[in-house]
Structure 1
Amino acid sequence: MPPRRSHKKSRAGCRRCKSRKIKCDEIHPRCGNCLKHGVDCDFEHPEVLTELQTAPSPSTPASSAGFRSPVVRASVPAFSFASAAGPSFAAPQLCRPPATPTMSLTTPAGHRLLELRLMHQYTAMTCKTFTFTAPVTEDIWKITVPNLAFSGSQHLADAILAVAALHLRSLTPNDKDLVRASHAYMAASLAEYSATLTRGIDNTNAEALFLTAALIAFQSTATRVFMKDELSLGRGGNVDGEERERNPAAGCYAIPFSWFHSFQGVKAITAASWQYLRASPVVTQVINSQVVLQLDFTSGPETFFGHLLDGLEEELAAMRPASHNNSNNPDSQPPTPSVNDGNGNPPLAPTPEAFNTTHNPNQDLITSTRQAYQHAVAVLNWAHKIPHKGAPLAFPATVSRRYIELLEERQPRALAILACFFALLKSMDGVWWLQGMARREVLGVVSLFNSDFFGPDAYARWWPHLEWAMRIALYEDGSGGGSGGVIPAEVWGADWFAEEEALAAEGVSHGGTDSYFRHIEMLSQMVSAVQSIPPVPE
């Protein structure tokens, strides 16, 4: 057996490498390991010694560490809101740039001041931006939600701070510390949220999970405000031939699927934990504060967005096998199911998944496609009448999974509907987490029709269905600041306040806000908790 090679044991390595029990290359002013992981090195920043000396050892159980800021936690994984497939961006580095003359966020005083600043921002301003219809819920977001977080919900506490950091970032966009903090807190919230879901929902965590899901949806939406116009589907402008062949839309505008995943997640959590949430005064007030969805499934020119369904039957007919494409086949025109809640009242958000079909698999797909389009257009027609009440935000939360699949397939009709949804957000342009959204997203969607993806005739064919969305997206109120107030009826196509009064009167005869509970009861009975909760990004 050959003798062991002699080596000189160095004691001059940085403290972080020593704590991790790895060899330090002792390069100054920042060792290679710290440079690789993007963390402060005590060679360069001696002040981090305090943090390293007080941090729990690797063998310390996580529970004994208590509520520790993600800013000073060990590396947290990055998460993508776009899909459940995995991370889509690198974990934000939480070190202070060497030239920044401010206090490092990795020092105890630094992260304490940051969290104090974020909590003040949340309670003073951010919580007020979640309410469109009922001021009573402001106290819930301002007082009750933080108290729930303080009582032991790490994911809710981190979600609160993440949204507050993003709000502050909208006011001071050049503050790099806020950029890193918003990413880090939300990544930490998602990690704990996922772990809690894995352990299971019960009466002790259902409220906090529901509220965290809502804050994740806000964060996912608001993050889009800070993104530059996207020209690819996650690969910058460098799209190789193989990727372009697999995904012809690569290199074009990227649809924000994160909106749908996050808002659908709120619906899924609600359905899965309804047995606990239905007795929660906090959740019931939040739910009851929403404007009741009163959907009219009438199609045709008599509804504002009825034109989006023009030619639908011909499109569906092309999906049928030749053997089914004849008038003698009883399955060629399946009847549209009656949609109500069993009491003659319009449902809150009927989804195509709720209908049972008895046709062959291809016919099932045709039926679900028809219902997906009809439902999406019905939501647009309703939201168009009272957009100032936050009604358009019901769209990503209530559309069916089939509609999202149609978007993923880049179906022109689904994209035209999406453009109209984004145009509806112009009514809320004054809200920080929706500011500029209508203009950017509508222009992005329309750019797909003007690209090679759909062919040379697509733009001319679909322009009549996109014209209103473009007009609203580009509308300026004369103040130079876009539109955040009431858009004139002759431009918008409806008088918001007259329509609100009409819908309010109609809502009395339809049972008012308890329609929400009827729908949620039905939804929670249709799906099991395991099936209804979408996978959380890992």
Structure 2
Amino acid sequence: DGSLTGYISSPCLLGFIILNPRLVVLAAELVASSAMRPNQSVSNNEIQGCCVRHEVECFYDRTDRCKSLRPNVTNVLDSVLHQAGTAAGQTAAHNSIHTEELMPLISTESRDRRYLELRLLHLWTTEVCQTLPGCYDPQNLRIWSRDVPKIALDYEPLLTAIFSISLLYMVFSHSQIGIPEAELFAYRARYFEATLRHHRKALGSMDHRTANAAGFTSIILIFDAFASLRERWMQPTHPSMPYKPPTAWLQMCRGVRNVVALGLDMMGEDSDSSLSIIAKGASPFVDPDTIYSEANRAKFAHLLPANANTPLDDLDYEAYATAVAYIGSVAAAKEAGEEHPKISRRLAIFPIILHDRFLTLLDMLSPRAMVILAHYFALLYTLDGLWWVGNCPEKEIEAVKANLGSEWLGMMEWPLKILRDRGRASAGGDDEK
């Protein structure tokens, strides 16, 4: 259909919360029947043809199992990877460092480069991994801190992705160790660009032997996309410029998720790969019967249009309802006393489960879509100590409010209350000091 992917509502938690391999579909567009919209189907011949092109055994011989043929994965990712690389470069430029000045360090062998990369790898294994959603589980932490670095030694895009995200961590956790912040951002831009370039090239020949590494690289790119939201607010803004929702971030998450889906399928559901192990442990967080229950949808039902007086097609309503139900499920888990690490794991899923149409509505600056997004950021804002979040939820919520008409401000009451309550709590803490 020309979009990044068709809508996938089956379990999909990239990396820290990854696709359940039993429900994984071949390629991006082969969707489990439970996720298909009415009147969509695909023939067995089409399914089998897709398998032949990718030189994998076909297990999808049932009708109504899949949608249409998926587009080439590398083509799907081209635009979002370009956007992500451009954003990283703009941040480096804003910090007044020309990345060309650092080319000798990045592109040639040197003592400084070896020292920097060793430090970054050490930082990854000892600190960064512990901050990933899902790494409160000892098995997940062991995979990320021990298995992934070893896998990266044979897959350069994964190695440079580790360096890139570790540089962001170094900046946002104030661990610069004597290197100016502007230089760190410039190094990060170079490593990030190298990751995108080499990863895209490698995807063209991905098979079951490289699927594990390609999957972890894509996962880190999604985590990187979360962290880069902080960079978005470090660049100058002008009051006269309208708010632009972070759709590039959402598209990045939804685009690279399909690499993981395809990789898991290539390896098979009985695989003992590190990627599959993480996937198999994620199913409790992605049970669609629980997440999309009427109770979860009802929690923020006031955000949904009243069909009686609001003309809306079914696709728009489905897009809004899916997002509202998921946000409701996270709020319900939080009210039930679930620990913050698990809540952060749930929140990391949000960009992945969104309906394609919801992203389109955000691009169209739909007030309702922006209000729903503000509720997501309000939940994210309630979590303490997440370096990859920082103050970006506050910035996003305030920007949404500033760009809404007065008739929509009533729906912003809950996110704004979260900001006020957190602000008072912070002020109280400062007074006690």
TM-score, with structure 1 as normaliser = 0.55
1:383 is matched by which residue type in structure 2? V
Identify which of 207, 212, 236 aligns with 2:217: 212
1:391-441 C-alpha deviation (Å, 9 max, x unpaired): 122111110111101111111111111110111101334110012122111
Please report how far the alpha carbon of residue 313 of structure 1 lies from its aligned counterpart in structure 2 after TM superposition. Answer: 5.2
Identify which of 247, 252, 255 aligns with 1:265: 255
Whether contact under 8 Å (1:428, 1:435) holds in the other structure is no
Identify which of 278, 281, 295 aligns with 2:291: 295
1:373 is matched by which residue type in structure 2? Y
Q: Which residue of 2 aligns with 1:381?
A: 328
Q: Secondary structure at the residue paired with 1:433?
A: coil
Q: Does 1:182 align with 2:191?
A: no
Structure 1 residues 253, 268: closer, same or farther in 2, change over 3 A? same
Whether contact under 8 Å (1:160, 1:215) holds in the other structure is yes
Q: Does 1:194 align with 2:200?
A: yes
CA distance in 1, matches of 2:258, 2:112: 38
Whether contact under 8 Å (1:231, 1:253) holds in the other structure is no
Structure 1 residues 202, 129: closer, same or farther in 2, change over 3 A? same
CA distance in 1, matches of 2:399, 2:353: 23
Q: Which residue of 1 aligns with 2:145?
A: 142
Structure 1 residues 309, 229: closer, same or farther in 2, change over 3 A? farther
Whose helix fraction is larger, Structure 1's or Structure 2's? 2
1:148 is matched by which residue type in structure 2? I
Identify which of 309, 313, 336 aligns with 1:314: 309
Q: Does 1:370 align with 2:360?
A: no
Deviates more, 1:127-136 or 1:422-431: 127-136
CA distance in 2, matches of 1:124, 1:140: 13
Please report how far the alpha carbon of residue 177 of structure 1 lies from its aligned counterpart in structure 2 after TM superposition. Answer: 2.5
Q: Which runs of 5+ in 1 are unaligned?
A: 1-78, 98-102, 238-249, 318-365, 450-457, 484-538
Please report how far the alpha carbon of residue 125 of structure 1 lies from its aligned counterpart in structure 2 after TM superposition. Answer: 0.2
CA distance in 1, matches of 2:201, 2:219: 17
1:170-201 C-alpha deviation (Å, 9 max, x unpaired): 1337423211111111110000111112x232
The alignment's C-alpha RMSD in Å is 3.1
1:127 is matched by which residue type in structure 2? C
1:141 is matched by which residue type in structure 2? W
1:427-465 C-alpha deviation (Å, 9 max, x unpaired): 33411001212211111111111xxxxxxxx22x21221
CA distance in 1, matches of 2:166, 2:384: 19
Please report how far the alpha carbon of residue 373 of structure 1 lies from its aligned counterpart in structure 2 after TM superposition. Answer: 1.1
Q: Which residue of 1 aligns with 2:132?
A: 130
2:362 is matched by which residue type in structure 1? L
Whether contact under 8 Å (2:233, 2:392) holds in the other structure is no
CA distance in 2, matches of 1:96, 1:482: 44
Please report how far the alpha carbon of residue 280 of structure 1 lies from its aligned counterpart in structure 2 after TM superposition. Answer: 4.2
Whether contact under 8 Å (2:160, 2:194) holds in the other structure is yes
Whether contact under 8 Å (1:266, 1:397) holds in the other structure is no
Please report how far the alpha carbon of residue 129 of structure 1 lies from its aligned counterpart in structure 2 after TM superposition. Answer: 0.8
Q: Secondary structure at the residue paired with 2:199?
A: helix
Whether contact under 8 Å (2:99, 2:187) holds in the other structure is no
Please report how far the alpha carbon of residue 87 of structure 1 lies from its aligned counterpart in structure 2 after TM superposition. Answer: 4.0
Please report how far the alpha carbon of residue 223 of structure 1 lies from its aligned counterpart in structure 2 after TM superposition. Answer: 1.6
Please report how far the alpha carbon of residue 367 of structure 1 lies from its aligned counterpart in structure 2 after TM superposition. Answer: 2.0
Q: Which residue of 2 aligns with 1:37?
A: none
Whether contact under 8 Å (1:158, 1:188) holds in the other structure is yes
Equivalent positions of 1:123-522 (< 5 A) are 123-132=125-134, 134-150=137-153, 152-172=154-174, 174-197=180-203, 199-228=204-233, 251-277=241-267, 278=269, 279-290=271-282, 291-293=285-287, 294-298=290-294, 303-312=298-307, 314-317=309-312, 366-387=313-334, 388=340, 389=342, 390=344, 391-449=346-404, 458-459=405-406, 461-476=407-422, 480=426
Q: Which runs of 5+ in 2 are unaligned?
A: 1-77, 93-97, 335-339
Whether contact under 8 Å (2:230, 2:389) holds in the other structure is yes
1:225-282 C-alpha deviation (Å, 9 max, x unpaired): 13436676xxx68xxxxxxxxxxxx812221123212221343123333322432431
Structure 1 residues 254, 474: closer, same or farther in 2, change over 3 A? farther
CA distance in 1, matches of 2:248, 2:138: 28
1:255 is matched by which residue type in structure 2? P
Identity of aligned residues (%): 25
Please report how far the alpha carbon of residue 221 of structure 1 lies from its aligned counterpart in structure 2 after TM superposition. Answer: 1.4
CA distance in 2, matches of 1:134, 1:386: 18
Structure 1 residues 367, 307: closer, same or farther in 2, change over 3 A? same
Whether contact under 8 Å (2:157, 2:194) holds in the other structure is yes
1:376-402 C-alpha deviation (Å, 9 max, x unpaired): 111111111235212122111110111
